C-alpha cells in the first residue's frame, strides 16, 4: 500500500560521510530548529528507512547513537522519542547555534515596540508555577455541568448548516443579539446587536481599539495600579502611557490632566477596578464622562468580571448611563466561562462598528465560528443564565470563606478591600513593608501556597503592601488551609 505522507518528509541528508552519520546530523538539525520538538515521536526505523531508501540497520544505528548521546529516548514497545530534557543547547545541522545574538533579525520599530511591550506584560501575568493551593487571580475552572453542555453542544454545532464556512467578521448574528440583550438587561448598556463586534477575548478587543484610535505619540491614560495587558496594547500601538492614580473609590478624576491635547483614550475598569477591586462611585462616573466628552477623549470601559456581583444593587456600566459616542464597552467570557475559550466582545458607538469589523477581518477573518455557535446555543437555551447564577453562588461562597479566613486568622493585621464582585479581593497588610511582603510570598511558596503582590501591577510605588488574592482556583477548604499558612508565615515575618 502506498503512503501519501512521508513520516519526516522535511528531513534532508547532507551527503557527507557514512549514511548513518548523515541521518544523525539531519535529526539533530531538526531537533535544533524545533521541527522535532521535545517529546515528539520519531517514525519507526522501518518507515524512515523506506523513506530514505536505505537499510533499516543504518537508521537503527543513527537512532542508537542519538539515544546514547541523550537526544532521543527509546521506550520498549512504544517507540523512540525526542528527549524531554535535552542534554545541551540545541544543535542546528550538526553545528551549535550562535548565542552571540549576531544573527538576531532586526525588527521594524513598530515590531520592536510590539515585542517589548508584550514581553513585559506577559512576564507579569505568566503563571510560572502551579501551587497546590493557588490564590492566582484571573483564572478559573469551569464546573462539570457546563462542561457536559459544552461537550454535547459541540457535537450539535458540527451538524449546523454553514458551520465550516467563514462567517461575518463582526460575529455570529444571533450571538451578537444575545450579547446586546444581556448587556441591556444586566449592565444597562443600550446598544443594538449591530453595535456588537465579537472578538478573541478582551485582549483583541483592546488591540482593535488601540489600532483604530491611537497615533504614534498620542497619550493613553490608564489606571495605576492597573491592567498591564491593556497598557502593553496601547504602548505597542505607539502611545505614551500616562498613569492616573486610583484610590478606594476607583480612578480619581481629580488626577486627570486638565488639558488633553494629545490624549486619545482613557482605559478604566469601573465596576471592579483591576487590581484593587474598587467600584467607581456614581459621582466619579459622571465626572469622568463629562471630562472625556468635553475633550473628545474615548473611554474604554473594560467590564471583565461584570457578570459576577455579590451586592444587592447592580452597578450600571459606565457605557450604560446614557447614550454616549465616546464610551466603548468591552466584555469577555473569560471569567463567566473560562479564559481558554478566547471569546469577548465590543459594544461600540455606531461610527466605530464598520472600522472594527474591518479590522477584525484583516486580523483573523473573524473569531471561531464553532466556538461562537457553542456559546450562542448556551445563551439561547437559557443554560448560560443558569450557569451564571451557579457561578455567582459558587464564588460568593468562596469570597465569604476567604473573608472569613482572613479575618479569623489575621484579625486586625489585614484590611480587606475590593470584595464586592469578581473572583479576587485585595488583602492589605498595614504593618508590612515591600521587603517583608516579598519574604511572605517566598515563605508561602515554600509551603506550596501561591500568593501574589499587588505591587506588580503598579507603575508608581504604592506605598503600602498588599496581596491580590484570587479564588477562581481554590475551594472553601483550600482557602482556609491556604490562609492558615499565610497567617503562620505572616507572624514569623511581621516586624516586632
Ligand X SMILES: Cc1ncc(COP(=O)(O)O)c(C=O)c1O
Contacting residues toward ligand X, per CB under 6 A = 138, 201-203, 227, 269, 274, 302, 304, 332, 334, 339, 344
Q: Which of 74, 16, 102 is nearest to 29 (CA)?
A: 16
Q: Which lies closer to ligand X via its Cβ, residue 238 or residue 422?
A: 422
357 touches 367 (CB < 8 A): no
Pick the closest to residue 395 from 426, 420, 427, 428 (CA basis). 420
Contact 60, 44 (CB under 8 A): no
Q: Which helix (H) or strand (E) holds 244?
A: strand 240-247
Nearer Cβ to ligand X (138/466): 138
Q: What is the largest CA-CA distance in the chain?
A: 81
CB of 231 to ligand X, least distance (A): 11
Nearest residue (CB) to ligand X, 267 versus 490: 267
The arrangement of strands across the sheet holding 240-247 comes to 196-199, 344-347, 327-332, 298-302, 263-268, 219-224, 240-247, 250-251
Least distance in Å: CB of 328 to ligand X? Answer: 14
Nearer to ligand X, 387 or 489 (CB): 387
Q: Extract the C-alpha cell encoding 203.
A: 485582549
Smallest gap from Cβ 273 to ligand X, in A, equals 9
Q: How far is the CB of 326 from ligand X (least distance, A)?
A: 20
Nearer to ligand X, 138 or 270 (CB): 138
Decide whether 279 or 410 has the Cβ nearer to ligand X: 279
* Four-point Cα dihedral 45, 46, 52, 56, nearest 10: 80
User: Least distance from C-beta 337 to ligand X, angstroms?
Assistant: 10
> For residues 213 and 229, which CB has a smaller minimum distance to ligand X in the complex?
229
Distance from C-alpha of 247 to C-alpha of 438, rounded to nearest angstrom: 23
Q: Which three cell numbers mark 75?
A: 521506550
On whether the CB atoms of residues 279 and 273 are closer than 8 A, the answer is yes
Q: What's the closest the beta carbon of residue 456 comes to ligand X, in angstroms?
A: 13
Q: Are 180 and 404 in contact (CB under 8 A)?
A: no
**Least distance to ligand X, CB of residue 368, Å:** 14
Amino acid at each position: 500500500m502506498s503512503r501519501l505522507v512521508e513520516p519526516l518528509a522535511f528531513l534532508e541528508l547532507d551527503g557527507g560521510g557514512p549514511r548513518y552519520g548523515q541521518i544523525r546530523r539531519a535529526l539533530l538539525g531538526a531537533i535544533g530548529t524545533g521541527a522535532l520538538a521535545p517529546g515528539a515521536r520519531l517514525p519507526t526505523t522501518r518507515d524512515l528507512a523506506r523513506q530514505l531508501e536505505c537499510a533499516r540497520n543504518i537508521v537503527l544505528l543513527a537512532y542508537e547513537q542519538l539515544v546514547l548521546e541523550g537526544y532521543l529516548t527509546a521506550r520498549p514497545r512504544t517507540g523512540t522519542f525526542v528527549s524531554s530534557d535535552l542534554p545541551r543547547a540545541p544543535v542546528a545541522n550538526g553545528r551549535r547555534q550562535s548565542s552571540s545574538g549576531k544573527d538576531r533579525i532586526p525588527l521594524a520599530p513598530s515590531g520592536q515596540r510590539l515585542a517589548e511591550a508584550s514581553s513585559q506584560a506577559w512576564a507579569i501575568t505568566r503563571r510560572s508555577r502551579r501551587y497546590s493551593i493557588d490564590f492566582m487571580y484571573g483564572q478559573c475552572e469551569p464546573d462539570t455541568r457546563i462542561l457536559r453542555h459544552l461537550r454535547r453542544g459541540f457535537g450539535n454545532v458540527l451538524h449546523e448548516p454553514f458551520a465550516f464556512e467563514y462567517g461575518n467578521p463582526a460575529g455570529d448574528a444571533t450571538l451578537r443579539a444575545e450579547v446586546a440583550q444581556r448587556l441591556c438587561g444586566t449592565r444597562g448598556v443600550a446598544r443594538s446587536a449591530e453595535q456588537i463586534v465579537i472578538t478573541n477575548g478582551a485582549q483583541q478587543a483592546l488591540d482593535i481599539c488601540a489600532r483604530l484610535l491611537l497615533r504614534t505619540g498620542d497619550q493613553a491614560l490608564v489606571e495605576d495600579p492597573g491592567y498591564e495587558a491593556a497598557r502593553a496594547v496601547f504602548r505597542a500601538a505607539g502611545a505614551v502611557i500616562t498613569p492616573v492614580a486610583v484610590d478606594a473609590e476607583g480612578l480619581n478624576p481629580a488626577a486627570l490632566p486638565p488639558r488633553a491635547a494629545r490624549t486619545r483614550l482613557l482605559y478604566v475598569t469601573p465596576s471592579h477596578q483591576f487590581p484593587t477591586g474598587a467600584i467607581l462611585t456614581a459621582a466619579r462616573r459622571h465626572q469622568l464622562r463629562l471630562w472625556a466628552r468635553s475633550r473628545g477623549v474615548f473611554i474604554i470601559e473594560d467590564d471583565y468580571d461584570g457578570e459576577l456581583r455579590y451586592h444587592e444593587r447592580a452597578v450600571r456600566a459606565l457605557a450604560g448611563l446614557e447614550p454616549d459616542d465616546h464610551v466603548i464597552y468591552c466584555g469577555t467570557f473569560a471569567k463567566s466561562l473560562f479564559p481558554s475559550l478566547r471569546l469577548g466582545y465590543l459594544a461600540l458607538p455606531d461610527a466605530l462598528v464598520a472600522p472594527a469589523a474591518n479590522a477584525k477581518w484583516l486580523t483573523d477573518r473573524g473569531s471561531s465560528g464553532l466556538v461562537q455557535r457553542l456559546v450562542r446555543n448556551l445563551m439561547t437555551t437559557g443554560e448560560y443564565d443558569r450557569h451564571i447564577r451557579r457561578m455567582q453562588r459558587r464564588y460568593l461562597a468562596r469570597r465569604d470563606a476567604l473573608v472569613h479566613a482572613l479575618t479569623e486568622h489575621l484579625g486586625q493585621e489585614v484590611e480587606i478591600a475590593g470584595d464586592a464582585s469578581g473572583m479576587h479581593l485585595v488583602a492589605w497588610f498595614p504593618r508590612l513593608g515591600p521587603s517583608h511582603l516579598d519574604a511572605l510570598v517566598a515563605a508561602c511558596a515554600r509551603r506550596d501556597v501561591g500568593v501574589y503582590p499587588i505591587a506588580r501591577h503598579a507603575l508608581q510605588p504604592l506605598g503600602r503592601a498588599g496581596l491580590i488574592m484570587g479564588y477562581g482556583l481554590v475551594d472553601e477548604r483550600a482557602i482556609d488551609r491556604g490562609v492558615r499558612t499565610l497567617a503562620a508565615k505572616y507572624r514569623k515575618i511581621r516586624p516586632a
